[in-house]
Amino acid sequence: MQSSFGLNLTPRGKVKLRVQKEVLNGAILEQAYTVEYVVQDQMCESCSRVQANPDQWVAAVQLRQHVSHRRTFFYLEQLILKHDAAKYAIRIKQMDQGVDFFFSNRSHGVKFVEFLGKVTPIRSRNDKQLVSHDPKSNNYNYKYTFSVEISPICREDLICLPPKLAVSLGNFGPLVICNKVTNNIALLDPFTLRQSFLDAEQYWRSSLRPYCRVGSCLNT
C-alpha cells in the first residue's frame, strides 16, 4: 500500500535467526539469517465476493421514517450497536428518510426486521424478485426486499387522539404527550397524568400523526 507521499505502508516485521550445527570434531558452524515477514491483508470468501460485486446481496431491508428529523435513527443506531443486530450486514447505505441494510442471506434480513419490531413500532412488507433460474437443477435464485416503516411518533410529541381511539382507551385524552417509544408508544395525559399504551398494531390501525413537539409548541 502506497501513501500519498509515495511511502510503502505495508506492515512488515524482521526476525534475526541464528542457525547452529555441529560439524567435524565438535566444531560448531553458525550462520545468521534475517527473515522479513510481510503482512498481506486477506478477506473472507463472502467479503471478497461483495468487494468484487457490491450488488451480490440476497436480502435488503429498507428502513424508513417519514419525518423531518433523524432522532429515531440516532436512537436506533445505539440499539443496533449495543445488540450487534447488523453484524451480518454486508453493506449499509444511508438514504433519504432512512437507511438500507444489505444481507447475503434472507434469514439474516428476517432476523434484523424481527429485531426492529422489538424496539420500535414498525410495519413491514416483503417482496421477492427472481434473479436466475437453472432449469436443469430446477434451482431458483431470488432477491428479497423488506420495506420497513417506523412510526413517526417520537418522545415529547403532542398528539390529538381520534375520538374512537380515545374512548377505546377509557376516555383518555384526547390531547396527550408521548413520553416513551419502544415497541409500544407510551402516552401521558398532561391534565390528569394518566398513562396509556399503544402497541404497533393499534397505532397503525389509527394512523396517528404528531401535532408538534412539546418544546416547539410552547415556542410558537
pLDDT grade, residue 220 (50/70/90)? very low
Asked if 129 contacts 140 with a C-beta cutoff of 8 angstroms, the reply is no
Q: Quote the cell numbers at residue 102.
A: 444489505
- What would the mean pLDDT of 99-117 be, rounded to a whole number? 94
Sequence-separated (6 or more) residues with CB below 8 Å from residue 145:
59, 60, 62, 126, 127, 128, 129
- Pairing, β 139-150 against β 59-64: parallel
Place of cell 377505546: 168
What is the Cα–Cα distance from 43 to 91, expressed in whole angstroms?
15
Average pLDDT over residues 65-86: 88
pLDDT tens digits for 11-24? Answer: 678 888 888 888 77
Evaluate if pTM is beyond 0.85.
Answer: no
Contact assessment for residue 220 and residue 211, using Cβ atoms and an 8 Å cutoff: no
pLDDT for 33 equals 83
Given a cut of 80, whether residue 168 has pLDDT beyond it is yes
pLDDT in tens, 37-62: 887 767 666 566 555 565 689 999 99
Crossing angle of helices 106-119 and 71-83, in 10° steps, is: 120
- Give bridge partners of residue 53 from the DSSP assignment: none
